[in-house]
Amino acid sequence: MLKTEIGAKWREERVDTAQFYVDKSIDSLLADTETIYTEELESGDRQRAMKRLRVPPLGQVKPQEWTTFKVGLFFGAFIVLFIIVVLAGLWRRETISWNIFFRLYRGPFWIVLFVFFIAGNVSGWRRNGVNHVLIFELDPRSSLTDQHLFELAGLFGVLWCLSVLCFLYADILTVPPYVNPLMLIVIMIAFLFNPSRTFLHGARFWLLRVMGRMCIAPFAFVNFADFWIADQLNSLTRALADLHYLFCFYGTLNGNWYYQEENSKCLQELWWTRLLVLCLPAWFRLAQCLRRYKDSKEAFPHLANGLKYATSFGVVISSTLYGLYPNGYYYKEVDSSSSIRTLAGNLNKTALAQLINERIHSDQRSLSSIDEIEKLDNPFFISWLACLFISSLYAFIWDVKIDWGLFDSKTGENTLLREEIVYGSCWIYYAAIIQDFVIRFCWAISISLSEIDFVQKEVITTVFGTLEVFRRFVWNFFRLENEHLNNCGKFRAVRDISIVPLAISDQEEIIKMMDNDDFSVLGTTQQASAHLKLGGSADTAVVKAIAHLEDSPLTNAGYGSALNSAQRVECDASICRTIDYKFASVGALEGVQNPVAAAHRLLLHQEQELGTEKCTKFGIVPPRYFYRFHVLANIQVTFLDIKKNVCHCCIECQFRADFARPPVPRRYEVLYQL
């Protein structure tokens, strides 16, 4: 099968003669554009022209002075105002209905905190070379930087603090207190839906488009950004519940903006709308998983992932039923023909005791017997705990194993992690695993504190809701790292080579080299053209061109070949002459600066490979080899015994390999890989 030439002939007849392969008009247009821009707009300064034309590098930080000033101003003001808010809350705690206060202001606070954490995510991705711009399919020229997001978080943090202070001191300011939370929400919604091309218009409408596709799932194709936003929404479920309460609260305000007592309508009478709101985030992700299964026909991971979100429905439904009927069912047999069955949550205890005393004469029960009904006898409470445990355990395993790609069997030196990691120390990953487990199961602490009335319920919800936002912040780092390295979600057609970013000084040096004609593609073509004009052969011209790149500091990885993480040798160079289909390749070379030239010399003398018998597959070079210029020497180090004989025959240097193999299959292209 390997010796067949059918595929090669089909390629020669169909691909090599196709218009898209033969036509070089796009390359000519790009070259003409660069030339015109350089000559006409930049007065011949190629480096300046390419700086303007080129997409900004991911790792390059270009702080804007005005934006930096605003970030410092807003965060400085926010820190001071937040301290004042805490002190004012302690001072005026007797005059405020804290349950209403928490439900009105907690949601906006979580959104501000969430934006701040996203800014931290973007900063971390950029510094560690995780290409979030590519993964989210953003425009690299206009995508938001971490500075813009920090500025936005600081601005709305200041507005949140001012609104809270106006609420706390409404009697002094003679402003209706319940106007302030509503105005804060109106400002945030107006900012998001502002149609004018101001205030980060591109980013806002990108978010709205993604949220629109998320809402119509499963009727729209799912991109990475769509499911990622839906995942973020799953960590903001409590914020959605507070938003539901806010709309209900102002819908039943009855015109009294100065004083409101807590009523049960928004929490109990409209329990079914609250249940639907709480189920929405999980439904969005479940619908997206079903759509991805429809598109890919892969039951795993899509249906398995959908099952994870389906368990959230059980949590929400059982929690709602437990809230409606905290004392569960009370059942008592009277005789063989009748029974009493009442819902303790639907009747007050006095009426229930009276009913029991009237109907059960043989077995009198007092009111205290109703108080002794244990929660463990409540089926809603038991089902709630069971659903919480199953959902949390399922989600934790999925987080660590699937979303983060950890606990891989081929971990190398990164025990229990994966072969390649981006964020440096392994302890960062171990700490992330522990915090994810703890926060996933912190509901046990929350329920315990709520049942013993040790802390006010709304305070507990606020604390653990904030922890969930923090957990999502940590989750984002490792989820995008895994997508960047392994394309685990298969949202990209091809896998990108993951390279840890260079230092800014090194990156500027590389850009300078690329803009220099001596190191540009133009230099390689000039070398090849000059050789052809002197009557040289085509294959030698190719060698001259590639050797020109290999000699430059920009593309030269050092002497010899690189090793992958499994200590296997990479192939340095392979070359094929299509006139006679003679093929040669070299690998595991020491002391050879240009492996392409070595392969060409080998091609002239014999058709076999120079190197070890392990040079059979291409490996993957760990990105740490390319972290700094001064560590490129690591690539020069090889740990294999190279068996080769070098002799001088006339003028030409001939290489002979001890480990000769049968002739390799014919190749029809020049392949060069470090």
Kindly report which listed range (123-137, 263-277, 296-310) carries the lowest average pLDDT score. Answer: 263-277
421 pLDDT above the threshold of 70: yes
Those residues whose C-beta lies under 8 Å from the C-beta of residue 298, and which sit 6 or more positions away, are: 292
Q: Which residue has the higher pLDDT, 213 or 408?
A: 213
Q: Tell me the pLDDT of the chain averaged across its residues.
A: 74
Those residues whose C-beta lies under 8 Å from the C-beta of residue 518, and which sit 6 or more positions away, are: 552
Strand partners, 340: 332
- Distance from the Cα of residue 98 to its chain's centroid: 36
Q: What is the pLDDT of residue 529?
A: 76
The CB-based long-range contact list for 406-415 (8 Å cut-off, 24+ gap) reads 406/433, 406/478, 412/565, 412/566
The answer to whether 554 and 519 have CB atoms below 8 angstroms apart is yes
305-331: average pLDDT? 85
The answer to whether 542 and 670 have CB atoms below 8 angstroms apart is yes
Q: Which residue has the higher pLDDT, 331 or 273?
A: 273
Tell me the C-alpha distance between 214 and 221, whole Å: 9
Q: What is the pLDDT of residue 96?
A: 82
Q: Which residue has the higher pLDDT, 539 or 480?
A: 480
Beta-carbon count within 10 A of 530 CB: 12
Sequence spans of domains, the chain:
1-56, 65-165+172-252+263-328+373-486, 501-556, 557-674
Tell me the C-alpha distance between 508 and 642, whole Å: 37
648 pLDDT above the threshold of 80: no
329-339: average pLDDT? 42
Of 655, 542, 522, 521, whose CA–CA distance to 588 is shortest? 655
Kindly report which listed range (132-146, 203-217, 560-574) carries the lowest average pLDDT score. Answer: 560-574
Tokens standing for 318?
């059982």
| 409: Cα within 13 Å, side-chain hemisphere | 0
Kindly report which listed range (464-478, 495-509, 570-584) carries the lowest average pLDDT score. Answer: 495-509
